[in-house]
């Protein structure tokens, strides 16, 4: 069928090349040599653990499931997880959409500053964000105490605890997704559509309602999905601020700590199913509204004219900038505070460099840093190799099992990190070659494996995106000129994949170095990462040390992004970038 189809396609078209390649690939050995190990590896690390969890949940037939349904704590956990996720979506949308409009459509003093700072919350490792919020808005937080003093209250005006606290923290970090997606949609928006609507007599609100917003729905849906999935999987915020409130993620960890693995499996399965269900729902919604927008509208910013707006907008911008930057500043401040000295004052009273000095000199304290760095390096290296091969196979090759591979690299994204961790704990807890199990739990390597799995969809999709921009005929040209397969990969395919590889690896590394959710399930004292150490320090009320670790973590993230940029700058420009430069210059 493919040979015939190839004969009817126009020679030279990408589809013709792909069909011809498919025919060749079916006979080719090298593709299968490559594909089979990768597929098997991913099946083993990604699917097998989840299957083990699901099977484990049915270990007593339906018994464990009935127990789940009967347990008020579990039912509450499920309900609260969903409620928190929906509320987070609403909150993030309410913040992100107006912010996107404000920063793309209007010009006012302070706009640039606000735009530069608007994505800052996403650059905080999740636990650090939570810690910062503790320092600011917690019961002994700076803002809380300040308000208490100013208003002359005897007790703290609020307690950062419960569902609203979790949603508050989520909204702060996750509005960035909405802001970025909707902002990108607005930048790409075809302004001639808006002009056409205006010319037809539609006023500003009608244009917004009938033209702009409906066309932003795909971008918005994508962002809302991301917020929902992140909220569902979120652990740090409910753990620190939940108070007595249960969500599935914390419930799972509780069950594991209590040794009730069966219940943990059921809870994990429920969590994973919720995530996958949400994924399908959103994708279905998104698919119904894909429009190709091809106009060449020029987006110009409107200068605010009304005097009230000219005063209010910069003021609001300033307040927002402050609110966004405050957590980072707070962490920095507290990192210099002497442990134990900050009790009831608004701000820590004593400052010292001691926290950092101890971190650098005491082996016990330095260990987590070393662990995180090593584990991140290992995981990211594995990500780079495996995902490059996988993406190459998915984009440029046709073979039976290609769709399976595509599914496998995307799967970890749909599964909350806690579920991934439980899956690993369930599977790799003994040496049993017959069932393909290796003892990794309790060793150093279990965490890099978890980081690796979490990073697979990130790196793979970034590389896929880069490779899709490459003309597939280029590879054929190289082979035709006599280049061996290895030479072709090294000199033709790898350079094309490089931008995506660097971007994806950066994101995966940044996530891994500050990873908390899976770490808290799987860590041992020997391989404890920075995030777990921060929690330990917080529990001992050593706020200064906890903050010092947080600052160090932020520093590591910065180093990683700088290294990535350095690699990028050194790399020879891709053909596409060079072509762009020629047309722009």
Partner 1 sequence: MSTAGSRESGVGSRAAPSATPDSRLPGPPAAGTLTLRNVTRRFGEHVAVDDVSLQVRPGELLALVGASGSGKTTTLRMAAGYETPDAGSITLAGADGTTRDITRVPPERRGFGMVFQHYALFPHMSVEENVAFGLEARGVGRAERLTRARDALRTVGLGGAGPRPVQSLSGGEQQRVALARAVVIEPRVLLLDEPLSNLDPALRLATRDELRAMLRRLHVTALFVTHDQEDAFAIADRVALLRRGRLLQVGTPEDLYDRPTSRPVAEFIGRAALVAAEDRGTHATVTLGGVARDVRVTRPDGAGATIPRALAVLRPEALTLSPHDGREQPGAWPGAVTARRFAGAATVYHVDVGGPGGVHLEIATVERGAREGDRVWLRVVREPVALVAADEPGAADARGDGRA
* Binding-site ranges for partner 1 (CB under 8 A): 190, 192-193, 195-203, 206, 210-211, 214-215, 289, 291-296
In the complex, the smallest distance separating the C-beta of residue 185 from partner 1, rounded to whole angstroms, is 13
Q: Sort residue 216 into left (φ over 0), alpha (ψ -120 to 50) or beta.
A: alpha
In the complex, the smallest distance separating the C-beta of residue 190 from partner 1, rounded to whole angstroms, is 7
CA–CA gap between residue 18 and residue 23 (Å, rounded): 9
For partner 1, the closer of residues 14 and 293 by Cβ is 293
In the complex, the smallest distance separating the C-beta of residue 206 from partner 1, rounded to whole angstroms, is 6
In the complex, the smallest distance separating the C-beta of residue 203 from partner 1, rounded to whole angstroms, is 6
CA–CA gap between residue 182 and residue 176 (Å, rounded): 10
**Secondary structure class of 195 (helix, strand, coil):** helix
For partner 1, the closer of residues 221 and 420 by Cβ is 221
For partner 1, the closer of residues 15 and 289 by Cβ is 289
For partner 1, the closer of residues 211 and 263 by Cβ is 211
What letter does residue 514 receive in the DSSP assignment?
T
CA–CA gap between residue 551 and residue 335 (Å, rounded): 7
For partner 1, the closer of residues 291 and 366 by Cβ is 291
For partner 1, the closer of residues 215 and 248 by Cβ is 215
Strand partners, 437: 432
Beta strand ranges found along 351-495 (DSSP E): none
In the complex, the smallest distance separating the C-beta of residue 221 from partner 1, rounded to whole angstroms, is 14
Contacts of 120 (CB under 8 A, 6+ apart): 324, 325, 328
Q: Are 271 and 260 in contact (CB under 8 A)?
A: no
In the complex, the smallest distance separating the C-beta of residue 298 from partner 1, rounded to whole angstroms, is 10
Concatenated DSSP letters of 292-333 = ---------PEEP-SHHHHHHHHHHHHHHHHHHHHHHHHHHH
Q: Are 461 and 383 in contact (CB under 8 A)?
A: no
Beta carbons within 10 angstroms of residue 10's beta carbon: 7
For partner 1, the closer of residues 37 and 214 by Cβ is 214
Strand partners, 302: 106
In the complex, the smallest distance separating the C-beta of residue 106 from partner 1, rounded to whole angstroms, is 17
For partner 1, the closer of residues 295 and 349 by Cβ is 295
For partner 1, the closer of residues 8 and 294 by Cβ is 294
C-alpha to C-alpha distances, 145 to 49, 138, 325, nearest whole angstrom = 47, 9, 19
CA–CA gap between residue 65 and residue 68 (Å, rounded): 5
For partner 1, the closer of residues 105 and 367 by Cβ is 105
Q: Are 240 and 134 in contact (CB under 8 A)?
A: yes
C-alpha to C-alpha distances, 439 to 427, 454, 469, 512, 553, nearest whole angstrom = 9, 20, 41, 22, 30
Residue by residue, what is the 3-state secondary structure of 143-182?
A: HHHHHHHHHCCCCCCCCCCCHHHHHHHHHHHHHHHHHHHH
Contacts 24+ apart (CB under 8 A), 370-375: 371/526, 371/527, 371/528, 371/529, 371/530, 372/512, 372/513, 372/514, 372/529, 372/530, 372/531, 372/556, 373/513, 373/556, 375/444, 375/447, 375/448, 375/451, 375/512, 375/527, 375/529
C-alpha 490: how far from its chain's center? Answer: 30
CA–CA gap between residue 379 and residue 373 (Å, rounded): 10
Query: In degrees rounded to 5, what are phi and psi of residue 337?
Result: -85, 145
| Residue 517 structure tokens | 């959710």
For partner 1, the closer of residues 97 and 331 by Cβ is 97
For partner 1, the closer of residues 202 and 489 by Cβ is 202
In the complex, the smallest distance separating the C-beta of residue 201 from partner 1, rounded to whole angstroms, is 4
In the complex, the smallest distance separating the C-beta of residue 453 from partner 1, rounded to whole angstroms, is 39
In the complex, the smallest distance separating the C-beta of residue 94 from partner 1, rounded to whole angstroms, is 23
| Residue 486 structure tokens | 């290895």
In the complex, the smallest distance separating the C-beta of residue 292 from partner 1, rounded to whole angstroms, is 7
| Residue 516 structure tokens | 């908390």
Q: Are 118 and 324 in contact (CB under 8 A)?
A: yes
In the complex, the smallest distance separating the C-beta of residue 293 from partner 1, rounded to whole angstroms, is 6
For partner 1, the closer of residues 151 and 200 by Cβ is 200
- Please choose, from the candidates 38, 52, 47, 44, the residue with its C-alpha nearest in 3D space to the C-alpha of residue 401: 38
In the complex, the smallest distance separating the C-beta of residue 207 from partner 1, rounded to whole angstroms, is 9
In the complex, the smallest distance separating the C-beta of residue 296 from partner 1, rounded to whole angstroms, is 7
For partner 1, the closer of residues 295 and 400 by Cβ is 295
């Amino acid at each position: 069928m493919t040979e015939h189809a190839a004969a009817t396609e126009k020679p030279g078209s990408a589809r013709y090349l792909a069909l011809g390649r498919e025919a060749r690939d079916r006979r080719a050995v090298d593709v299968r040599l490559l594909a089979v190990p990768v597929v098997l590896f991913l099946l083993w690390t990604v699917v097998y653990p989840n299957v083990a969890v699901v099977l484990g949940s049915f270990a007593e037939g339906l018994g464990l499931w009935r127990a789940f349904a009967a347990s008020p704590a579990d039912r509450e956990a499920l309900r609260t997880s969903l409620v928190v996720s929906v509320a987070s979506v609403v909150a993030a949308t309410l913040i992100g959409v107006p912010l996107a409009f404000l920063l793309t459509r209007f010009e006012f003093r302070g706009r640039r500053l606000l735009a530069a700072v608007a994505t800052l919350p996403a650059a905080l490792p999740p636990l650090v964000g939570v810690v910062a919020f503790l320092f600011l808005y917690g019961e002994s937080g700076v803002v809380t105490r300040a308000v208490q003093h100013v208003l002359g209250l005897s007790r703290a005006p609020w307690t950062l605890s419960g569902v609203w606290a979790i949603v508050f923290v989520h909204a702060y970090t996750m509005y960035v997704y909405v802001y970025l997606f909707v902002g990108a949609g607005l930048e790409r928006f075809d302004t001639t559509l808006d002009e056409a609507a205006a010319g037809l007599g539609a006023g500003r609100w009608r244009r917004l309602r009938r033209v702009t917003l409906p066309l932003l729905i795909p971008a918005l849906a994508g962002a809302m999905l991301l917020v929902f999935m992140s909220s569902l999987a979120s652990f740090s915020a409910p753990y620190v601020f939940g108070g007595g409130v249960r969500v599935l993620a914390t419930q799972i960890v509780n069950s594991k700590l209590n040794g009730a693995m069966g219940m943990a499996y059921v809870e994990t399965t429920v969590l994973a199913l919720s995530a996958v269900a949400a994924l399908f729902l959103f994708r279905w919604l998104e698919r119904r509204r894909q429009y190709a927008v091809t106009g060449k509208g020029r987006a110009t910013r409107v200068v605010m004219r009304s005097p009230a707006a000219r005063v209010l907008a910069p003021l609001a911008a300033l307040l927002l900038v402050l609110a966004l930057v405050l957590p980072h500043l707070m962490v920095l401040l507290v990192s210099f505070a002497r442990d134990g000295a900050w009790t009831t004052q608004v701000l820590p009273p004593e400052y010292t460099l001691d926290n950092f000095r101890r971190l650098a000199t005491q082996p016990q304290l330095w260990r987590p840093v070393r662990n995180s760095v090593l584990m991140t390096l290992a995981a990211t290296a594995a990500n780079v190799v495996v995902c490059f091969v996988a993406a190459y196979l998915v984009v440029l090759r046709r073979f039976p099992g290609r769709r399976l591979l595509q599914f496998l690299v995307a799967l970890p994204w749909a599964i909350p990190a806690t579920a991934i961790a439980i899956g690993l704990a369930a599977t790799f807890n003994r040496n049993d070659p017959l069932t393909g199990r290796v003892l990794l739990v309790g060793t150093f390597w279990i965490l890099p494996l978890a980081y690796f799995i979490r990073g697979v969809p990130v790196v793979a999709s970034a590389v896929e995106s880069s490779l899709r921009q490459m003309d597939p005929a280029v590879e054929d040209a190289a082979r035709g000129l006599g280049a061996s397969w290895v030479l072709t990969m090294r000199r033709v395919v790898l350079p094309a994949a490089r931008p995506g590889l660097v971007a994806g690896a950066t994101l995966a590394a940044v996530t891994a170095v500050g990873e908390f959710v899976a770490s808290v399930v799987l860590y041992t004292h020997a391989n404890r990462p920075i995030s777990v150490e921060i929690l330990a320090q917080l529990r001992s009320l050593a706020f200064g040390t906890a903050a010092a670790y947080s600052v160090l973590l932020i520093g590591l993230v910065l180093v990683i992004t700088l290294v990535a940029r350095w690699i990028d700058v050194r790399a020879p420009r891709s053909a596409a970038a060079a072509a762009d430069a020629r047309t722009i210059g």
